[in-house]
């Protein structure tokens, strides 16, 4: 290789790669659609939009989240599930603007949510952030979403009954499955459980559920070709990303919408539509 081409080419390539990872891929939303067969007798598949890890911050502006919400609405979901990490730190976002953005979504489609480790609690407090999730729960509730914090709700979609369950975050030491599933009866209706961190699945194991929705991993966020992600913040990496069987059930872990370090490589932000039958 010509020495001059090498000297000038290498920094240009490095800059281009950085520009792509920093400014293009983190905003390059991918819409995915997956069939989830539960074996329950449903008249038609339920259209569940699953998004997660919005991480509103200076590097993930509310305007980007609004564009993501508009695309979620265009998927024509029956309901929307948001599985935690609404923010990254305690003060890097505009609360009223965030509430309005969430209202735009929840005004059109029933929206349910759980809290993640960044939303406040034992883990977040270690970084000097929110010591509990009251502030973010209030923000999300004012945004019109129903926060299920170790709680359940029975709903009806087009005449079809469905249980929605939400558990507290595992890293925040707030996962109380016994309380979350207390109301869920043995009525044959499908059970969807929202659980931020897939490592909390064993805590939910003794209870009745069909599909678990998780986030937390960001799909690895940086996927090195032929190697994979250098860091995945879970113990059981089998459930780090995608739709995977768990015994006779399903776990769906989405790559999330936002990010925490401002870059994504080979791991685009994701808006998922699950067709649950
Ligand atoms: Fe996250």
Cβ atoms of residues 81 and 243 within 8 Å: no
- What pLDDT sits at residue 227? 87
- Distance (angstroms) between ligand 1 centre and the Cα of 153 equals 25
- CA 98 to centroid of ligand 1, rounded, Å: 17
pLDDT for residue 4: 74
CA of 194 to the centre of ligand 1 (A): 14
Provide the β-strand partners of residue 236.
none
The residue ranges of DSSP E strands in 43-197, in sequence order, are: 46-51, 79-83, 111-114, 146-147, 151-157, 160-166, 191-194
| pLDDT at res. 1 | 61
* Rounded Cα–Cα distance for residues 60 and 49 (Å): 20
* CA 85–ligand 1 middle distance (angstroms): 5
Is pLDDT of 10 > 90?
no
List pLDDT tens digits, range 143-173: 999 999 999 999 999 999 999 999 999 999 9
Q: What mean pLDDT do residues 247-256 have?
A: 97
State in Å: Cα 16 to ligand 1 middle: 26
Residue 212 is given by DSSP the state E
Model pLDDT, residue 9 = 81
State pTM to two decimals: 0.95
Look at 18-32, 119-133, 172-186 and tell me which has the smallest mean pLDDT: 18-32
For residue 181, how far is its CA from the centre of ligand 1 (angstroms)? 24
From the CA of 123, how far away is ligand 1's center (Å)? 12
């Amino acid at each position: 290789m010509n020495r001059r081409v090498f000297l000038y080419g290498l920094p240009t390539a490095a800059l281009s790669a950085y520009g792509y990872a920093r400014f293009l891929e983190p905003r390059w939303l991918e819409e995915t659609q997956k069939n989830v067969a539960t074996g329950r007798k449903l008249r038609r598949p339920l259209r569940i939009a699953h998004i997660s890890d919005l991480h509103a911050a200076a590097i993930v502006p509310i305007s980007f989240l609004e564009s993501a919400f508009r695309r979620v609405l265009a998927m024509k979901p029956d309901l929307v599930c948001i599985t935690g990490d609404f923010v990254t730190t305690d003060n890097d976002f505009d609360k009223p603007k965030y509430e309005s953005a969430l209202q735009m979504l929840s005004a059109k489609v029933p929206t349910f949510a759980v809290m993640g480790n960044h939303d406040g609690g034992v883990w977040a407090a270690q970084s000097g952030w929110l010591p509990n999730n009251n502030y973010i729960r209030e923000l999300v509730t004012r945004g019109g979403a129903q926060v299920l914090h170790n709680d359940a709700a029975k709903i009806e979609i087009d005449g079809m009954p469905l249980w929605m369950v939400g558990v507290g975050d595992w890293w925040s030491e707030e996962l109380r499955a016994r309380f979350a599933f207390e109301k869920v009866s043995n009525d044959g209706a499908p059970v969807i459980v929202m659980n931020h961190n897939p490592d909390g699945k064993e805590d939910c194991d003794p209870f009745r559920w069909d599909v678990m929705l998780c986030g937390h991993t960001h799909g690895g966020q940086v996927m090195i070709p032929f190697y994979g992600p250098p860091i995945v913040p879970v113990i059981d990496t089998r459930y780090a990303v995608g739709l995977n069987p768990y015994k006779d059930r399903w776990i769906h872990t989405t790559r999330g919408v936002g990010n925490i370090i401002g870059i994504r490589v080979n791991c685009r932000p994701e808006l998922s539509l699950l067709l649950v039958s």
